[in-house]
Each structure stands twice: as C-alpha cells, then as structure tokens.
Amino acid sequence: MRKIFIFLGLFSGYAAYSYLVYTKGTESELVLRGIQQQQIELGKSLYQQHNCTACHQLYGLGGYLGPELTTAWSDPSRGENYIRAFLQKGGQRMPDFHFTKNETDAIVAFLRYVDSTAITYKKP
C-alpha cells in the first residue's frame, strides 16, 4: 500500500510539472507583436502537431533520440543554418516532414524564441 501512495505522489508531481512546462514553459516577459508573434505561435503549433518532443527536448523534457533544442539557436556548433537544413531535408534519424518555407521560418522563429527564454539553461 505504501508503494502505491509513493507512486501516486511521484506520478502526480511529474504530471503537474509536465503540464506547467508544456503549457506555460515557453511564456516569457518578452513583448512580441504582429508577424513575429504569429510566426512563433505557428512554430510552436507545428512543433506540437508533429510531436517533436517524442525525439527532442525543450528545457530538459522530451525524447532522447534527437538533439536537445532549447539552446540550438545560440549553440556555436549549430545555429540557424543547422536548424533550417534539418527542417528542410531531414537527416539519418529525422524524417523529412516536407515543411514549406513559411513553416520552416515559423519553427526557426519558435526555436529562437525558446533560446531567448533559456537564460538559466545556457552554459556560461
């Protein structure tokens, strides 16, 4: 019986934490307007629709098959061109989703936004 209560406590904590990170985790004090906000929202929507978290992590949560993407934008070994190349053509383990240029731009804008909110997550 004790194990059941421990399990339920841990599971409830994990579920609450996951809910907050996946629903509120990308919110920020940054003020976005117009096209920029729409593009980021489209990118976030595409990220969720294509279940990118099955393979990639944001803020340490998600799958382990693909690279962690929280700071992919500012990582000197990756950056915008790296992100665009994989979004447009896929890779060994990443499928080619046949994103349009607008969709690619939106996902890149979303990842740039995520990177800008990851202040405490970046390595010094």
In a domain, 51, yes or no: yes
Residue 107: what pLDDT?
A: 95
Instruction: Give residue 87's domain range.
Output: 30-117
Q: What CATH number is given to the structural domain containing 49?
A: 1.10.760.10
How many domains, the chain? Answer: 1
Q: pTM of the full predicted structure?
A: 0.72
Residue 17: what pLDDT?
A: 84
How far apart, in Å, are the Cα atoms of 122 and each of 53, 54, 70? 19, 22, 9
Sign of the Cα torsion 32, 36, 42, 45 reads negative
Residue 110: what pLDDT?
A: 94
Residue 19: what pLDDT?
A: 82
Given the structure tokens 């629903």, which residue do they identify?
23
In the chain, which residues have pLDDT < 70? 24-32, 120-124
The H-assigned helical ranges of the chain are 2-24, 34-49, 80-89, 101-117
Residue 87: what pLDDT?
A: 93
In a domain, 1, yes or no: no
In a domain, 25, yes or no: no
In a domain, 69, yes or no: yes
